[in-house]
């Protein structure tokens, strides 16, 4: 995982494996988000280096620490709430597969750009018999239209980039090697927004989702 800058746009590369949400991964992402904001970055793009953007929950860690399941889900939801209300413009460069909580991480950003010809965006919960937590459902419902909610949350459908754009899950698509630059350019015109004001606006817009994500 590494944080670099394109002019004043922070670019956080989540890594080149499945980028699952181990506790260490969550800690590092949160630390780098704080670094980006404190550096005065004008925006944040998250991306990845492999065929996955993120495959979501670390099921191996969860299986080995089943007694800490509630704590773990709370940590994941805290990261989603943090991204949702980050006081700078954000965009997810979905360069590969985004599944489950990995797809939720993308949804928590202000904007999403997805590779047009490879990779799937999927909420598989209905097929793996794991209902959405109230917080995760509230996050998705805060960002997607009712039609897109039904199409993604109740079907387990794997959306390619073009299909995801057609229903409004992502804001645009790009070819191989162009997804991250497209996400950066999406944010460039938004440079200079006051973080205090933008953070307050996002906290107000997404207050119910944040409350559900951070509920004990």
Q: Where are the beta strands (DSSP E) in the chain?
A: 2-6, 9-13, 43-47, 52-54, 90-94, 97-99, 111-115, 121-122, 172-174
Displacement of CA 178 from its chain's centroid (Å): 19
Is the Cβ–Cβ distance between 201 and 86 less than 8 Å? no
Per-residue confidence (pLDDT) for residue 216, from 0 to 100: 66
Tokens of 193: 């927004």
Q: In the chain, what are the domains? A: 2-214 (3.90.226.10)
Residue 88 has pLDDT above 90, yes or no: yes
Per-residue confidence (pLDDT) for residue 40, from 0 to 100: 96
CA gap 99, 104 in Å, rounded: 8
CA gap 126, 153 in Å, rounded: 7
Question: Region 30-58: what's the mean pLDDT?
Answer: 97
Is the Cβ–Cβ distance between 36 and 13 less than 8 Å? no
Strand partners, 43: 9
**In the chain, what percentage of residues exceed pLDDT 70?**
100
């Amino acid at each position: 995982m590494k944080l670099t800058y394109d002019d004043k746009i922070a670019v956080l590369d989540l890594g080149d494996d499945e980028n699952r949400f181990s506790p260490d991964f969550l800690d590092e992402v949160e630390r780098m988000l704080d670094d980006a904001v404190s550096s005065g970055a004008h925006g944040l793009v998250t991306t990845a280096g492999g065929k996955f953007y993120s495959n979501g929950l670390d099921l191996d860690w969860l299986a080995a620490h089943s007694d800490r399941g509630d704590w773990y889900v709370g940590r994941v939801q805290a990261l989603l709430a943090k991204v949702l209300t980050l006081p700078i413009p954000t965009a997810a460069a979905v360069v590969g597969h985004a599944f489950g909580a990995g797809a939720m991480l993308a949804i928590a950003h202000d904007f999403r750009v997805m590779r047009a010809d490879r990779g799937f965006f999927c909420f598989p919960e209905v097929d793996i018999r794991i209902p959405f937590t109230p917080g995760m459902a509230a996050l998705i419902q805060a960002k997607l239209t009712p039609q897109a909610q039904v199409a993604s949350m109740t079907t387990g459908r794997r959306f390619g980039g073009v299909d995801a754009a057609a229903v409004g899950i992502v804001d645009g698509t790009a070819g191989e090697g162009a997804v991250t630059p497209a996400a950066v350019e999406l944010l460039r015109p938004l440079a200079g927004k006051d973080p205090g004001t933008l953070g307050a606006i996002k906290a107000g817009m997404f207050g119910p989702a944040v409350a559900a994500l951070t509920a004990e």
